[in-house]
A and B are shown apart, each in its own frame.
Chain A
Amino acid sequence: KAGVTQTPRYLIKTRGQQVTLSCSPISGHRSVSWYQQTPGQGLQFLFEYFSETQRNKGNFPGRFSGRQFSNSRSEMNVSTLELGDSALYLCASSLGDTNEKLFFGSGTQLSVL
């Protein structure tokens, strides 16, 4: 069974640009969560989508947004990039019901110059 796939693996952007990251969950998983990982703050929850609806949201500004498609694939968008947005963005999928066991992808490493 294929794992969680995130693309691209690396991205370099400049301040003010926007970026879209993609995540394909494990087949059969309906929940996709996004996390930001930085050396200073560790892993922080961005948002979770379940059956195309945002079910949970973390404490990030509105520049961070996401969506989920009918096939459970998810995208995350960051607009007006800032230097502080440089981080590893991790996607995790799960069955989404009472099972909270998350399966993480390898992440997208975003560098903002």
Chain B
Amino acid sequence: EDQVTQSPEALRLQEGESSSLNCSYTVSGLRGLFWYRQDPGKGPEFLFTLYSAGEEKEKERLKATLTKKESFLHITAPKPEDSATYLCAASQAQGAQKLVFGQGTRLTINP
């Protein structure tokens, strides 16, 4: 069964304290690995898509990386506004619009 697992479930950091979120996946025929951010009361907001092992993408304080079995979302010198739930999702070679989501990591950045 296709599965996406994220860890940790929750993470509390001080402002400026860098860390990484993990997403491991078992999906046959992976087409893409996605990262989304979700704020309370809102739908997920797209951050990155990664397609092949070794690929990296960056946006402001966030960098996403992909290996054959997992993806990492690195957060460098985070600010309180980076507090949110970060979701990882995988799509298969077929059914490209169907995403399998992980449970998410709830990130809190204290000032």
The CA-CA distance from A44 to B101 in the complex, in Å, is 7
Asked if residues A42 and B102 are in contact (CB atoms below 8 Å), the reply is yes
B42 within 8 A of A: yes
Chain A residues contacting B31 (CB-CB under 8 Å) are 100
A100 contacts which of B32, B36, B42, B45 (Cβ < 8 Å)?
Answer: B32
Given contacts A56-B97, A58-B98, A96-B97, contact A101 B43 (CB under 8 A): no
CA distance A43 to B38 in the complex (A): 12
Total contacts A-B at CB 8 Å: 57
Q: Is A92 an interface residue (CB 8 A)?
A: yes
A102 touches B96 (CB 8 A): no
A100 touches B101 (CB 8 A): no
| B39 to A, closest residue via Cβ | A106
Contacts A102-B44, A104-B43 aside, 11 further interface pairs with beta carbons under 8 A come to A4-B43, A35-B101, A43-B44, A45-B98, A48-B97, A48-B98, A55-B97, A56-B95, A56-B98, A101-B46, A106-B43
* Contact yes or no, A104 B45, CB < 8 A: yes
Q: Is A103 an interface residue (CB 8 A)?
A: yes
The answer to the question of B87 belonging to the interface, with a C-beta cut-off of 8 Å to chain A, is yes
Q: Report chain B residues within 8 Å CB of A101.
A: 46, 49
Indicate whether A24 reaches chain B with its CB closer than 8 angstroms: no
CB distance from B46 to the nearest CB of A (A): 5
